[in-house]
A and B are shown apart, each in its own frame.
Chain A
Amino acid sequence: MGVIVGPRVIDAGLSVVTVFLAPLAVAAGYPSPAQDYFEGRIDLNEHLIKDVTSTFIVRVVGQSMEQAGISDGDELIVNRAREPKDGSVVVAVLDGELTIKRLRITPTGVVLQADNPRFPDIHVPALSELTIWGVAERCLHHV
């Protein structure tokens, strides 16, 4: 629930890299709105979701990210607003499907990897040729 706009990016025209100040910093001005209602009791939304406007929950199908602790059937908290970096676990659009991969940004190009080596890497010349749907921030792993 960010309430104040962060630094403005000068050319926001076509790129999708507008960066907002993390709403956590915004909260400094006011007490958390939840305080009046959930006195003392932990509200997971408050702790696990940084920006409710841009955060979505998705469910994993498949085993390719097991090594990252992300198993078949787990739920992921995905923030669309977060800028993907080298090493981010991202949801990328591949052949019209939402796919979870680890993003590697190297001097020679961009690679989408599965953490399980049985699955082949996908090489892309530049980040701009990829549609990154969002960046995974938490995994709700079933134990």
Chain B
Amino acid sequence: MSKPAVMRRMQEIAHVDVNCFYASAERAFNPALEGKPVIVLSNNDGCAVTRSPEAKRLGIGLGDPWFKLRPRAREWGLVALSSNYELYGDISSRVMELLGRYSAWLEVYSIDEAFLGVKGEPDQLLELGREMKAACRRHVGVPVCVGIAPTKTLAKLCNKWAKNNPSFNGVCRWESVPVEQREALMAKLSVIEIWGVATRLTKRLNAIGIFTIADLVRADPVAIRDKFSIVMMRTVLELQGTPCIPVEEERIGRDQLIFSRSFSTPITTTAGLRQVMSVYAQMASARLAKHDLQAKVLTAFAGTSHFNPNEKSFPSTCVVLPMPTADPVILTKAAHALLPRVFEGVKYVRAGIMVTDLRPSGNQKPLEIFGNPHEERGIGILLEDVAKRYGRGSIGLGHAGIRGGPDWTMKRDMLSPRYTTHWDELPLVKAA
């Protein structure tokens, strides 16, 4: 590096996430939704899990149940959609692959957000943020915001500012914001807005006089460790600019499960990655089983290191499972779908899988192949008789026999086409 000393080449962390991801993924294929209030509903069309800004302005809250909103939907012009995880999984994997092209390293943090390592002079970093934003919109069709800072916690905070303050135009870099403006912004935000600070902790922080982010930045990390925990101390240090949040290898979100880790020795063979993918798939299977869940969509990804700028590869692929499952064999096979997209001989230092479209076990349709023999033995008729006499939900086969009614298929009445994963559901373009 024979750069003049005046140039400051920084190594920072960018946090990129898609604005109201599920609604944006829907809009990418249905432009008529642009500008309209759109919500995406949880499994079984239960409650609003994603709201477009227009829907938020109507006063619709996160988690508002659909049955309460439905009577007013028409008057509001509200569009409600069932969650289309196959679409979201594919769009997510495209976004991650795209972001990988810009970064030294990439950590897929959830279905719609990633941390990535970026290098350059201050102006270049801001420029890079704008490029990533433009590229996600252009290449994949979804809007993102970008926060860039020396630590993950600050990058997340900058992203929040980028989203909520139009003057940032969707990209905010910590060091590029004047100190006075940063302080003013931090003094306005409650500590609950910080990544990793839960409601319970907020109350305890308030009790010792820490209300805003600005208060927490001024706190003594050691005192915080003694009063709270090492995790809280890390948050304070991160806010003060010292990176110290380790990469989390397993994360369980509201609607996804992620396993990823970096390897101490790079993996350079497809056979090696096949093994890693198998291990993760089995970990995911065990975790799903423990929570009594099944998944319908799996995303597998891998990435190279930033020490080798000439060897960048961030393959990512999304697989729709034949049925909701926690079966280790099926999950393993699905995770192997990544393998044709990895380059033999390239040094991969990170890999992972993410499962989404989670639902309680036993909510799935039984395999058709098992359906027939029972029918031949007249069990269907017997079940029907019992159901008629004692009511639906009084009898069922295996898992389906749990009380809770006949709701053994997922209710998704307002499902948009699975535009990118099903040949019969491709987006239609008008030639007229």
A interface residue numbers (CB < 8 A to B):
1-5, 8-10, 12-18, 20, 29-31, 33-34, 36-38, 51-54, 56-65, 70, 72, 75-76, 80-81, 91, 93, 96-100, 114, 119, 131, 133
Please state if A3 and B314 are interface contacts (CB–CB under 8 Å).
yes
Residue from A2, A51, A70, A131 within 8 A of B431 (CB atoms): A70
Most chain B Cβ neighbours within 10 Å, of A38, A56, A58? A56
Residue from A8, A16, A64 within 8 A of B137 (CB atoms): A16
Main secondary structure on A side of the interface with B = loop
Which residues in B have their C-beta under 8 angstroms from that of A4? 101, 312
Please state if A54 and B341 are interface contacts (CB–CB under 8 Å).
no
Identity of the chain A residue whose Cβ is nearest the Cβ of B103 in the assembled complex: A5
| B336-359 with Cβ < 8 A to chain A | 339-346
B140 smallest CB distance to A (angstroms): 7
Bin the interface of chain B by size.
35 or more
Please state if B32 and A53 are interface contacts (CB–CB under 8 Å).
no
Which residues in B have their C-beta under 8 angstroms from that of A52? 97
CA distance A71 to B32 in the complex (A): 24
Please state if A12 and B127 are interface contacts (CB–CB under 8 Å).
yes
Identity of the chain B residue whose Cβ is nearest the Cβ of A134 in the assembled complex: B141
Please state if B139 and A53 are interface contacts (CB–CB under 8 Å).
yes
Which residues in A have their C-beta under 8 angstroms from that of B34? 96
Which residues in A have their C-beta under 8 angstroms from that of B31? 93, 96-98, 131, 133
Which residues in B have their C-beta under 8 angstroms from that of A61? 428-432
Segment at the interface with A among B128-136, B249-257, B275-283: B128-136
B interface residue numbers (CB < 8 A to A):
29, 31-32, 34, 94, 97-98, 101-102, 127, 130-131, 133-135, 137-141, 169, 270, 310-315, 339-346, 419-420, 426-432
CA distance A62 to B31 in the complex (A): 19
The 5 A-B residue pairs whose C-beta atoms are closest, nearest first, are: A96-B32, A62-B431, A54-B139, A62-B432, A12-B131
Once A16-B134, A30-B343, A80-B141 are accepted as A-B contacts, the answer to whether A57 and B97 lie under 8 Å apart by CB is no
Please state if A100 and B431 are interface contacts (CB–CB under 8 Å).
yes
Most chain B Cβ neighbours within 10 Å, of A53, A65, A75? A53
Which residues in B have their C-beta under 8 angstroms from that of A131? 31
Identity of the chain B residue whose Cβ is nearest the Cβ of A66 in the assembled complex: B431
Please state if A133 and B141 are interface contacts (CB–CB under 8 Å).
yes
Which residues in A have their C-beta under 8 angstroms from that of B429? 58-61, 76, 91, 98-100
CA distance A8 to B125 in the complex (A): 12
Which residues in B have their C-beta under 8 angstroms from that of A29? 310-311
